[in-house]
Structure 1
């Protein structure tokens, strides 16, 4: 897993923040992975122009598997974008787009647990 940094200004082309995850490289005891977006400053996504999140499968030529415009979800500071669950050697993907409150992923654990049930 590699975080490529955070463009705090939104200037320039391309995605402002990218996290690469190689599912095959994760330890075998990792059964679930939650993809979240959080406003660490606590501002709602209604206050951020053009805020969006997308999940891209780079093994299939940059296929976008989900895309959410964050400011269309209402006044919230976190969103559970998607989850992945390991089933044997394969991973299943579920898009959620579930808005919630949370400056950090730790704040969102109850929402994530409910979504995985």
Structure 2
């Protein structure tokens, strides 16, 4: 049964049978903005959100960033499904718009933190997006085997006026990987700024 994560909650990457999650997918799903005209008609505005994954060493220095212009980490452990430029124009279809897969067994041993970041490429305010969520699951980008955790990332007024956020951080503790659901908006405008903010405040 999936865990419904709360902001700031920390969890172990362990299944009900006690085995550890090694291969996971982190999927992000979001909707298009609805706009009403003076005459009552409704139009949809495409939303270009960008999911990214920044890797840091134990000293919180950036090793690499996987995002829409760098779809795979050098060690092959992390893969990005590609850039989604619109969001769900026809309402929530239940599918992820962008997916980042992680194989912890292949991850560079120097990596101690894996941070997931969300940026609004066109500067569209998170507060205007009808829904956005993250889920951690076993499977592949095309097949969900078992959802491990879900996290609603646009669920309060605190996101209004922001275009970037830290979704969550996988961190290595005593050789085991754990997850911290951050869910905090930042004042950053670009991915590079958000990567630095994550290192300074959330690792």
- On whether the aligned pair clears a TM of 0.5, the verdict is yes
Q: Structure 1: where are the runs of 5+ without partners? A: none
Aligned to 1:48: 129
TM-score normalized with structure 1 length: 0.81
1:60-99 equivalences under 5 Å are 61-69=146-154, 72=157, 73-99=159-185
Work out which of the two has the higher radius of gyration on C-alpha atoms and give 1 or 2. 2
1:1-117 equivalences under 5 Å are 1-11=78-88, 13=93, 14-50=95-131, 52-58=132-138, 61-69=146-154, 72=157, 73-112=159-198, 113-116=200-203
SS, match of residue 80 in structure 1: strand
The whole-number CA distance in structure 1 between the counterparts of 2:160 and 2:127 is 7
**Structure ranking higher on relative contact order (CA contacts 8 Å, 6+ apart):** 2
What is the Cα-based RMSD across aligned positions, in Å?
2.3
**Kindly tell me: are residues 49 and 6 of structure 1, through their superposed partners in 2, closer, same or farther at Cα, counting changes over 3 Å?**
farther
More helix by share: 1
Shift of 1:65: 4.1
Shift of 1:77: 0.5
Post-superposition CA distance 1:25-54 (Å, at most 9, x none): 21000011111100122222123332x131
Q: Structure 2: where are the runs of 5+ without partners? A: 1-77, 140-144
Post-superposition CA distance 1:69-113 (Å, at most 9, x none): 267422101110111111233112111111013343311134312
Count of aligned pairs: 115
TM-score normalized with structure 2 length: 0.50
